[in-house]
């Protein structure tokens, strides 16, 4: 047990310290090169000007809040995955130089448990970084730039298909755990199901919209799956989850209002798709219930995505009438008068409750 605690918490602490150490230099780089959007504003998911949202942000700026997208850099998510990557490299190098029992206990990068989620974290980070750069350096006459939603969904879908095939063909996984049934075999349908789950969680990345909101929610979700992985004796996977949490906490140190930078796509894409992969890693592959509790642990992400869908369907089917003042839902709360910090803190509280509920259901 002590060895497991060492393996889980030492890498997480290293990741946090690396994130804290690298952020001043990274933020200076972002500000020096003006890595922010050239024009403030946002488009709705159907490509129209988000008038209510843009008006809300203009009011925030008028009141002195740090919400001007033309003055706050993007690419803050680099702190998160950069911390995780650095931690893996440092521990790997130290384990070669000092092949001691302690280093053997601390090393957590393994083919069986962490290779797949770590690969998706980096792949999502790179694609998101490209999207962020294109949005920053795009045509200044447009509010939104970067990769279109369709292109991003295709990329995420292709990544999900590749990993689903690995699970199905290489690991012989073709089902998920289901209450009162046990393992529910899906056969080849496991592949499209896998892809749909990854896309659903990725769509929840729209939660990144208020200083500190997304970081806190992701930290809680990854911590919850870390606990589940420990219970399943997937200690390397648990250590990976906590390494990501360490990077997120370092990011949050500088993202609490007023934010020094935004997480943006390089953070949200990497974290969402990797969270979905970890859910599958803690399901039948780990003799657990990782998928069935995903809608609970990731409830804030799913609710945010659903609120967008409901808003679009309402406007199409009800002659432009909206259900929410602004979608996603967290912006609706801002629009009806909640201060952004209150939205963030209440979402954090709800996320903790959902995270605990998910852990309990996964362990009983």
Reference 119, options 174, 175, 160; nearest CA is: 160
Quote the CA–CA distance of 289 and 200 in Å, as a whole number: 18
Alpha helices in 204-293 (DSSP H): 213-231, 235-255, 264-281
141 falls in which pLDDT band (50, 70, 90)?
A: very low
Tokens at residue 187, please? Answer: 């056969």
Reference 88, options 14, 25, 9; nearest CA is: 14
Proportion of the chain above pLDDT 90, given as a percent: 69
- The distance in angstroms from the start CA to the end CA of the chain is 20
Average pLDDT, the chain: 89
pLDDT at 140: 45
HEC profile of 109-120:
CCCCCCHHHHHH
Tokens at residue 118, please? Answer: 């770590």
Rounded to an integer, the average pLDDT of 329-348 is: 93
Contact (Cβ atoms closer than 8 angstroms) between residue 307 and residue 324: yes
67-106: burial string, b at 16+ Cβ within 10 Å, e else: bebeebbbbbbbbbbbbbbbbbeebeebbeeeeeeeeebb
Contact (Cβ atoms closer than 8 angstroms) between residue 225 and residue 279: yes
Sequence-distant (≥ 6) Cβ neighbours of residue 211 within 8 angstroms: 66, 255, 256, 257, 258, 259, 340, 344
Tell which phi-psi region holds residue 230, choosing left (phi > 0), alpha (psi between -120 and 50) or beta. alpha
| pLDDT at residue 282 greater than cutoff 60 | yes
Q: What residue segments make up the domains of the chain, in order of their start?
A: 2-363
pLDDT at 191: 97
Cis amide bond preceding 197, omega within 30: no
pLDDT per residue as tens digits for the range 78-118: 999 999 999 999 998 998 888 888 787 888 888 889 999 99
Rounded to an integer, the average pLDDT of 341-353 is: 96
Note the pTM of the prediction, 2 decimals.
0.93
Rounded to an integer, the average pLDDT of 224-242 is: 96
**Residue that the structure tokens 């980070």 belong to:** 125
Tokens at residue 253, please? Answer: 């140190």
What is the chain's Cα-based Rg? 20
């Amino acid at each position: 047990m002590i060895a497991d605690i060492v393996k889980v918490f030492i890498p997480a602490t290293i990741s946090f310290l690396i994130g804290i150490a690298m952020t001043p230099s990274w933020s200076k780089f972002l500000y020096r090169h003006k890595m922010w959007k050239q024009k403030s504003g946002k488009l709705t998911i159907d490509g129209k000007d988000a008038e209510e949202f843009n008006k809300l942000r203009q009011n925030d700026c008028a009141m002195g809040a740090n919400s001007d997208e033309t003055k706050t850099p993007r690419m803050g998510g680099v702190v998160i995955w950069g911390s995780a990557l650095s931690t893996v490299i440092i521990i790997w190098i130290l384990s070669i130089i000092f092949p001691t029992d302690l280093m053997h206990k601390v090393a957590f990068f393994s083919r069986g448990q962490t290779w797949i989620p770590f690969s998706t974290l980096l792949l999502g980070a790179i694609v998101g970084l490209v999207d962020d750069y294109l949005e920053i350096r795009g045509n200044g006459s447009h509010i939104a730039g970067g990769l279109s939603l369709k292109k991003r969904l295709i990329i995420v879908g292709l990544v999900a298909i590749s990993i689903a095939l690995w699970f199905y063909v290489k690991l012989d996984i073709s089902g998920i755990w289901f209450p009162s049934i046990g393992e529910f075999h899906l056969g080849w349908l496991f592949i499209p199901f896998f892809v749909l789950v990854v896309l659903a969680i990725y769509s929840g990345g729209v939660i990144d919209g208020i200083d500190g909101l997304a970081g806190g929610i992701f930290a809680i979700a990854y911590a919850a799956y870390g606990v589940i992985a420990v219970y399943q004796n997937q200690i390397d996977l648990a250590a990976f989850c906590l390494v990501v949490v360490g990077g997120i906490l370092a990011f949050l140190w500088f993202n609490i209002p007023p934010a020094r930078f935004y997480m943006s796509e390089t953070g949200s894409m990497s974290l969402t798709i990797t969270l979905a992969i970890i859910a599958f890693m803690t399901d039948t592959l780990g003799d657990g219930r990782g998928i069935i509790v995903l809608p609970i642990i990731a409830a804030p992400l799913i609710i945010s995505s659903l609120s967008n869908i409901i808003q679009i369907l309402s406007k199409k089917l009800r002659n432009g009438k909206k259900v929410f003042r602004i979608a996603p839902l967290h912006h609706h709360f801002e629009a009806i008068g909640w201060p952004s910090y209150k939205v963030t803190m209440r979402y954090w509280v709800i996320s903790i409750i959902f995270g605990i509920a998910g852990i309990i259901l996964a362990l009983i």
